[in-house]
Amino acid sequence: MTAASDTQSAVQPAYRRRDLTGIAVILGIAAIGYFLFPNNLALLTRILAIALLVLSLDLVTGFCGVATLGHAALFGAGAYAAGMAAAHWGITDPIAMVVVGAIGGAAAGLLSGVIILRGHGLSQLVLSIAVIHLFHEAANKASAYTGGSDGLAGISPDPLFGLFAFDLWGRTAYGFGVALLVIVFVLLRILVRSPFGMLCRGIREDPVRVGAMGGSVRGTLVKMYVISGAVAGVGGALNAISTQVVGLDSLSFTTSAEALVMLVLGGTGSLYGALLGTAVFMWFEDVVSAANPFHWLTMVGALLIAVVLFAPRGLFGTAALLLDRLKERRR
Amino acid sequence: MSPVFQVERLRKSFGGLAVTQDVSIAMEPGDRVALIGPNGAGKTTFVNLVVGHLAPDSGKVMLAGSDVTGLDPVRRVRQGLVRSFQVTRLFSDMTPQEHVALAILQRTGRSGRVLGHFQAMPEVMDETRTLFETLGLVAVATRKVAEIAYGQQRLLEIAIALALKPKVLLLDEPAAGVPQSDTPRIEAALAGLPPDLAVLMIEHDMDLVFRFAKRVIVLAAGAVIFDGSPQDVTKNARVREVYLGNYANDRSAA
Ligand SMILES: Nc1ncnc2c1ncn2[C@@H]1O[C@H](COP(=O)(O)OP(=O)(O)OP(=O)(O)O)[C@@H](O)[C@H]1O
Ligand SMILES: [Mg+2]
């Protein structure tokens, strides 16, 4: 009894401290971004939205081992749900829009999870590609609701809490995005440490073992897909609120593939890797495409090859490994 | 006493190869049965059929009086039919403590919880600790499984199975691959299994078999050729021919 509660008090503060540090770092970087690039808040807000997509992808790929190239379906569903709620049904309160986006994303997560989880390995990947194309085509065909290839316009969110209007400079949208990211991040840290999170890690390592323990593999994965969909949906809603349009690109194969690239770049299975990968990729893309609009894709490709070859755990994973080694040497 | 576990005329062929031929076995609570037979006799296949990892061509599996042949493996585990693996299957990135906690949470229906941490659940921590004390795993409880000795990994397999509080436990070569110096610890763990649990153990180490089992079943080419006491198994001519003969020869050669 005492021994158990000893470990309890010894362990909890350790990870709580680490999480608090994480939140402080996110807020710090967000503040630096705000002051360094006051004219580029739209890009920073887009990074936040995509970061939510990549976090969501990390839940199914990094924590559960599901390979997917169709994850933007969840993001796009959230964006369209929030956008249509505002444009067609008069739901223009930004928080209500985020809730609608989360629900839309969760529904898309349920649907695509049920389809994708039918397969394993390569067939899973192929199913995920089929899913994103079906979603894309559905949004294109339903142009009466989605605006089709012209995009969905007419989204004008109310001021946040009735106080902060979504200004031309994107200050409100940026602050809103930072708040959403931090809230989601905290919730996900709790999730991945929970019994459910542990079960998911078990499934990633050996689903047969989990089954032999009496754990339901498919049920668990579908549940994670729904949670992941809600997270991606929040990202989609944020994008709809900040840009006030939703385009078909939010439901595209390219966005899905880029999200996977960002995740691998940052490192899977830690949440921090997802954030770092998104920030580095999008910043790099922005800088390089401005400097050399013709060869920027080549540069991005070179960066990726370098990371995959020399830091296969991704930027965050490799940094964490080096830090661990340093600590051990000092001991 | 009525049987807690009953297999009736189980059959399985892979293509033309009959790997399980009309196998029938019944066990009562507290039974200690050893299933032996030469390599490729179909012992692991039998376990896979019983727990539902393979579908039999025909036959029945009964657990505590009800037919579980149509149930998926996960349901069978939840009803108390638990197996261990011949080649260890563990989560290399996780600690023994996490493995056993996951099994306990699973058994008690809490593994789907999205809030809280098992280390903050005193009953889970207490049960984990008690199991590790019995099996001698306290020292490695919070190390990664990839870093602990193979013998300890085998003990952890047993710990996970016990954490599920099974009615019937099928152990597939619990001492396989363990260095000679560590087998006494496995044997001690086997001796300490709950007295009312029905245990079927597959094992090649005959010394272990004779010390553990009250009953021995011999499988050869997928069929049961002997089912009786350990004293009689060595006297049986067919068993000597297909199995113990080899065993005796191996011994004299070694
Ligand atoms: N999935 C499968 N497909 C085809 N043949 C199989 C399959 N699984 C097992 N076999 C064959 O069935 C026979 C029995 O295998 P099994 O693994 O059950 O033997 P075993 O008695 O456990 O042997 P060991 O003592 O080596 O563990 C072997 O000839 C094996 O090659
Ligand atoms: Mg075998």
Listed by start position, the domains of chain A span: 6-249
CB contact under 8 A, B113 and A196: yes
More confident residue, A78 or B116: A78
The nearest CA of chain A is from the CA of B230 a distance in Å of 30
- The Cα-based distances of B31 to A28, A72, A181, B6, B139 in angstroms read 64, 55, 57, 12, 32
The nearest CA of chain A is from the CA of B205 a distance in Å of 25
Cα–Cα distance, A241 to B182 (Å, whole number): 64
Q: What residues of chain B, 47 to 66, have a C-beta less than 8 Å from chain A?
A: 51, 53
Q: Sheet harboring B198-202: ordered strands across?
A: B81-83, B168-172, B198-202, B32-36, B215-220, B223-228
Q: Which residue of A has its CA nearest to B75?
A: A214
Which of B77, B106, B160 would best serve as a mutation to test chain A binding (most A beta carbons within 10 A)? B106
The residue assigned the tokens 């309890």 is A8
The nearest CA of chain A is from the CA of B9 a distance in Å of 24
**What is the phi-psi region of residue B165: left when phi exceeds 0, alpha when psi lies from -120 to 50, beta otherwise?**
left
- pLDDT (0 to 100) of residue A5: 45
| Interface predicted TM-score (ipTM) over 0.95 | no
- pLDDT (0 to 100) of residue B204: 87
> Per this entry, what is the length of chain A?
331
- pLDDT (0 to 100) of residue A318: 87
Cα–Cα distance, B169 to B34 (Å, whole number): 12
- Is A9 an 8 Å CB contact of chain B? no
Ligand whose nearest atom lies closest to the CA of B43: 1
- pLDDT (0 to 100) of residue A284: 86
For residue B48, give the ligand 1 atom closest to its CA: 18
- Is A205 an 8 Å CB contact of chain B? yes
Report residues whose beta carbon is within 6 angstroms of any ligand 1 atom: B 14, 19, 37, 39-45, 86
Chain B hits for A202, CB-CB cut-off 8 Å, are: 91, 94, 102
Nearest-CA residue for ligand 1 atom 7 is B14
**Rounded to the nearest whole angstrom, what is the distance from the C-alpha of residue B178 to the centroid of ligand 1?**
21
CB contact under 8 A, B107 and A214: yes
CATH of domain A6-249: 1.10.3470
Chain B hits for A12, CB-CB cut-off 8 Å, are: 117, 119-120
Pairing of strands B198-202, B168-172: parallel
- pLDDT (0 to 100) of residue A9: 47
Q: What is the mean pLDDT of residues B128-138?
A: 93
CB contact under 8 A, B93 and A196: no
- B142 pLDDT more than 50: yes
pLDDT along chain A (331 residues), means of 10: 45 74 92 88 94 97 93 96 91 93 97 93 92 94 85 83 79 93 95 95 94 93 97 96 92 92 92 93 86 78 84 87 83 66
- Which of B110, B113, B160 is the closest to A213 by Cβ? B160
Chain B hits for A212, CB-CB cut-off 8 Å, are: 51, 73, 77, 82-83, 85, 89
- Cβ-based neighbours of B187, under 8 Å, separated by 6 or more: B175, B208, B211, B212
**Rounded to the nearest whole angstrom, what is the distance from the C-alpha of residue B86 to the centroid of ligand 1?**
12
Chain A hits for B93, CB-CB cut-off 8 Å, are: 201, 205
**Rounded to 5 degrees, what are φ and ψ at A7?**
-60, -35
Q: What residues of chain A, 222 to 261, have a C-beta less than 8 Å from chain B?
A: 223, 227
CB contact under 8 A, B129 and A3: yes
Q: What is the overall mean pLDDT for chain B?
A: 89
* Class of residue B195 by CB neighbours under 10 A (exposed 0-12, middle 13-18, buried 19+): exposed
Q: What is the mean pLDDT of residues B194-211?
A: 91
Q: Which residue of A has its CA nearest to B117?
A: A194
Q: Which residue of A has its CA nearest to B115?
A: A194
The nearest CA of chain B is from the CA of A207 a distance in Å of 10
- pLDDT (0 to 100) of residue A7: 47
CB contact under 8 A, A220 and B114: no
- pLDDT (0 to 100) of residue B48: 93
- Which of B106, B112, B126 is the closest to A214 by Cβ? B106
Q: Which residue of B has its CA nearest to A2?
A: B122
- pLDDT (0 to 100) of residue B244: 55
- pLDDT (0 to 100) of residue A187: 95
Q: A213: closest CA among B136, B175, B131, B156?
A: B156
- Is A191 an 8 Å CB contact of chain B? yes
Q: Which of A154-158, B77-81, B228-232 is least confident? A: A154-158
* Class of residue B38 by CB neighbours under 10 A (exposed 0-12, middle 13-18, buried 19+): middle
A79, A237 Cβ separation under 8 angstroms = yes
- pLDDT (0 to 100) of residue B250: 52
Cα–Cα distance, B199 to B215 (Å, whole number): 11
- Is A201 an 8 Å CB contact of chain B? yes
- pLDDT (0 to 100) of residue A6: 46
CATH class of the domain comprising B5-253: alpha beta
Chain B hits for A4, CB-CB cut-off 8 Å, are: 122, 125-126, 129
Sorted by where each begins, the domain ranges of chain B are: 5-253
Within 13 Å and on the Cβ side, how many CA atoms surround A72? 27
